[in-house]
Amino acid sequence: MSWLLSIAASLGDWFSQCAVEWRDAAADELLHFRTVQGFSEWLGEFALLFPLGMSVIWMFFGLLYVMRRERRLPWRDAAAEEPSIAVVIPARNEEAGIAASIESLLAQDYPRMRIYVMSDNSLDATVEIARRYESRGVCVHDLQTRHGKAGALQVALDAVREDLFMVLDADTTCGANAIRALTQQFVDPHVGGVTGSPHVENLDSNLARMQAMEYMGIIGLIKRADSFWGGLFTVSGAAACFRTKTLREVGGWSGVSVTEDIELSWRMQKAGYELAYEPRALFGIQAPTSIGALHRQRRRWAQGMWEVLRLHGELHETRNSSLLPMAAQAIASAGWMAITLASALLWIIQLTTGLDIAPAFEPMTALRLLGIATTLFVLQTVLACLWESDYRPGCWRVVPYAVLFPLYYWCVIVPSFIMGAFAATASAPGRHALWERTARSKKGSIAHSGRSLSEAAG
């Protein structure tokens, strides 16, 4: 008994020592605010450490999701009736990729599926290519006026009779059994929508491979953590499936944001429905292969995120608490973005005026910071690879790119994110998003991005 008491006493001493250290550290943080230099240092420290903190949180909850949910994902009883599904491909000038997209759907082993191609006033051979598949059951609708992606999807939603409504971008392909895997999650009556796992197909450049690593190691991880919290920040706009009845109940696609997928995800979850992630449903996407195209894509995502927070950010009365951790992340990200910008401004002021006000780190601190950041990103990617290797063999090839991820993140992602936030502040939500041509790969595949009606008219 005495040895138990001595262990308890030692542990108590150790905890109290830790608490004193923690209190001193917290007090040191407050001291930072006494001087301009101290405050500036605090800004720099927060800007550099916030992404690492989020990484720790995502890894922990991602791990919980894999252990508690992913291993027990439902497979419908073979004898049970499968729901009918309408797969809608919205397209505008997608002649380069639409055939591959339709072929991948026709190769699915899912009998109760109907494919709809919604051409939004395409000016190229999109409609002609799609019509070649009409004999195999593909329905082609050639809209003569421009509706935008959201508008084209809404036209389809008004017409379909199937139980489920799936959206597949025209430059996206379905992996084997992806449709069957997606539909499994609807055995839960509270699930309103399911999103699949995107993987980059055009691994022909270092930039594309870096994005492949990002989709697997960051976006896949975030979706797992979000799923554990009970929702998703957003379904993937390239491939997502919804219950048709639920989609109609929440009003379908409103087209009020440049990212219709994020807006619909929040609206659906605010209405009390759950969104789920299906890692077994793989979808091949084309990643941007130039810095400019990538920057435009990420700026659009960031703009959409801020627009949606402005439209749906009032969560004080929501009964879907799974939105709160996502909102907390978004608010913290907003603070982090402002602080990062302030740190950068202090650097510029120091360079131009010579005033000693910018955050500065000791060489050893900088080295430690770099080492820990790289270790965390590599650990995160290795974990993601462990989880994903069941579904995509060969994913380990992109792990070495995790070493360069901090550089890619600070040079490409962060500036695009900040510019997207400014664009969202400058634009009024409630406008219609139309298509815009964005070259993604050397093969000439085309993707869409948002453009306002007024811009289009101009």
Partner 1 sequence: MIQTLINALLGLGYIAGLILVWIGLEMFVIDGRRFAPSFLSIVAGVGLWALLVATGKALHRQAIRRMEAQR
Residues that bind partner 1 (CB under 8 A): 14-15, 17-19, 21-22, 25-26, 28-29, 45-46, 49-50, 52-53, 56-57, 60-61, 64, 190, 228-230, 272, 315-322, 324-325, 327-329, 331-332, 361, 364-365, 368-369, 372
177: left (phi over 0), alpha (psi -120 to 50) or beta: left
Whose Cβ is closer to partner 1: residue 46's or residue 215's? 46
The closest alpha carbon to 50, from 434, 384, 331, belongs to 331
Q: How far is the CB of 321 from partner 1 (least distance, A)?
A: 3
Residue 61 near residue 266 (C-beta atoms within 8 A):
no
Q: How far is the CB of 457 from partner 1 (least distance, A)?
A: 40
Residue 239 near residue 90 (C-beta atoms within 8 A):
no
Q: What letters, b where the CB count within 10 A reaches 16 and e where it falls short, cover 75-114?
A: eeeeeeebbbbbbbbbbbbbbbbbbbbbebbeebebeebb
Whose Cβ is closer to partner 1: residue 363's or residue 393's? 363
Whose Cβ is closer to partner 1: residue 203's or residue 369's? 369
Q: How far is the CB of 191 from partner 1 (least distance, A)?
A: 12
Q: How many CB atoms lie within 10 A of CB 30?
A: 10
Whose Cβ is closer to partner 1: residue 230's or residue 450's? 230
Q: How far is the CB of 256 from partner 1 (least distance, A)?
A: 24
Whose Cβ is closer to partner 1: residue 328's or residue 348's? 328
Amino acid letter at 447?
Answer: A
Residue 443 near residue 424 (C-beta atoms within 8 A):
no
Whose Cβ is closer to partner 1: residue 137's or residue 335's? 335
Q: How far is the CB of 334 from partner 1 (least distance, A)?
A: 12
Q: How far is the CB of 372 from partner 1 (least distance, A)?
A: 5
Nearest-10 crossing angle of helices 220-229, 36-68: 80
Q: How far is the CB of 210 from partner 1 (least distance, A)?
A: 24
Q: How far is the CB of 222 from partner 1 (least distance, A)?
A: 14
122, with CB counted inside 10 A (0-12, 13-18, 19+), is buried
Whose Cβ is closer to partner 1: residue 296's or residue 312's? 312
Whose Cβ is closer to partner 1: residue 259's or residue 329's? 329
Residue 218 near residue 259 (C-beta atoms within 8 A):
no
Read out DSSP for 298-324?
HHHHHHHHHHHHHHH---TT-S-TTHH
